[in-house]
Amino acid sequence: MTHFSASELILNSKQRVYHLDLSAEHIADDVILVGDPGRVNKISRHFSQLEFSTAHREFITHTGIYKGKRLSVISTGIGTDNIDIVMNELDAAVNIDLKSRKELQHKRQLRIYRLGTSGALQENIPVNSLVASAYGLGLDGLLHFYDSIEQINHPALCKAFENHASWPTALPAVYAIPASEKLLEKFKPAVFCTGITATAPGFYAPQGRELRLNARMKNIQGLLSAFQFKDLKITNFEMETSALYGLGKLLGHECLTVCVIIANRMRNEFTKDLEGSETILIDTFLQQLSQLHDQTRTH
């Protein structure tokens, strides 16, 4: 059995995974990831009991009870590089014995939900609606640093997109990873639509924004909006889902992203009440999760 060295599995003085400051007992089987550290409390204030909290850098964790269900809420910060840290350390905390530094024989499977804000790439998707990501289309390149991506990638979708967009060879090869079908089906009743979510490695040029620097790819949002693969369109832009889905699949966890649309890029609209948009996302998600929990308990 593999022994993970101190430089590979980095632990803090409390013998918890380094960045997240967590060990297995602090992590519920249902984990909510949010980008903004300030959003953690907006969710945990709905808990009837707060069992545990910790904070290290941008990573804040609250674990507690919501309507009889144990949940962990963790802030990730922005970007696939932070998702790389969060997913690897979450898995290490629950599937590696941190004392012996050896992999556990019996693995825990986490249900991991990302609740985020996003920009719509279809004119018919209104601001303040919720979108669930059936696929994460990675424009970021992160998963290509991992072995076995071929086992989970969707090459036909990738090839179709690269041909459609005349994807420059100077940019990372795209990859496409599906959501957990189980979680996606459970949350479809609570969302406006499902589709492909494009994950960009930045907020400005990678998403077609120009201030004092010009973007290499002109009108990338138009190219994304016009793409269709079978019955799927690219519904929205954000910065985390492709890494979440890819690492989740490789590590054996169930993952789903649900985003509230705070901007429609095709109509140049932005929400007039960002806090209200976040409230819609949190309240709708928690209500749906509670209903699913009640259904599970009655069967």
Separation of alpha carbons 81 and 46, rounded Å = 29
Q: Give 176-193 pLDDT, tens digit per residue.
A: 999 999 999 999 999 999
pLDDT at 163 over 80: yes
pLDDT at 116 over 70: yes
Q: Answer yes or no: do 167 and 263 share one domain.
A: yes
For position 67, what pLDDT does the model report? 96
At residue 262, φ and ψ (nearest 5 deg) are -105, -10
Residue 20, helix vs strand vs coil: coil
Tell me the C-alpha to C-alpha distance, in Å, between residue 84 and each of 54, 78, 87, 130, 266. Answer: 20, 11, 6, 25, 30
Q: Give 209-224 pLDDT, tens digit per residue.
A: 999 999 999 889 999 9
Q: Answer yes or no: do 214 and 142 share one domain.
A: yes
Q: Answer yes or no: do 13 and 142 share one domain.
A: no
Number of domains observed in the structure of the chain: 2
For position 119, what pLDDT does the model report? 96
Non-local CB neighbours of 230 within 8 Å, separated by 6+ positions: none
For position 292, what pLDDT does the model report? 80
Domain end marker among 108, 139, 173: 108
For position 165, what pLDDT does the model report? 96
pLDDT at 298 over 80: no
Q: Answer yes or no: do 97 and 163 share one domain.
A: no
Q: Give 24-79 pLDDT, tens digit per residue.
A: 999 999 999 999 999 999 999 999 999 999 999 999 999 999 999 999 999 999 99
| Tokens standing for residue 276 | 């209200």
Domain end marker among 76, 108, 140: 108
Q: Answer yes or no: do 9 and 103 share one domain.
A: yes
| Tokens standing for residue 254 | 């169930």
Q: Answer yes or no: do 201 and 60 share one domain.
A: no
Q: Answer yes or no: do 104 and 123 share one domain.
A: no
Taking 3-state DSSP, the helix, strand and coil percentages for the chain, each rounded to the nearest 5, stand at 35, 30, 35
Q: Which of 22, 23, 10, 39 is nearest to 285 (CA)?
A: 39
Higher per-residue pLDDT: 213 or 292? 213
Tell me the C-alpha to C-alpha distance, in Å, between residue 47 and each of 42, 92, 205, 225. Answer: 10, 26, 39, 39
Mean pLDDT of 254-258: 98
For position 2, what pLDDT does the model report? 82
Q: Answer yes or no: do 54 and 187 share one domain.
A: no
Q: Answer yes or no: do 17 and 130 share one domain.
A: no
Q: Please give the residue range of the domain that contains residue 282.
A: 115-299
Q: Answer yes or no: do 104 and 121 share one domain.
A: no
CATH number of the domain residue 13 falls in? 3.40.50.1580
Share of the chain above pLDDT 70, in %: 97
Arithmetic mean of pLDDT over the chain:
96
Non-local CB neighbours of 215 within 8 Å, separated by 6+ positions: 204, 205, 208, 209
Domain end marker among 108, 138, 159: 108
Q: Answer yes or no: do 154 and 22 share one domain.
A: no
Conformation bin of residue 279: beta by default, left when phi > 0, alpha when psi is -120 to 50: alpha
Q: Answer yes or no: do 101 and 142 share one domain.
A: no
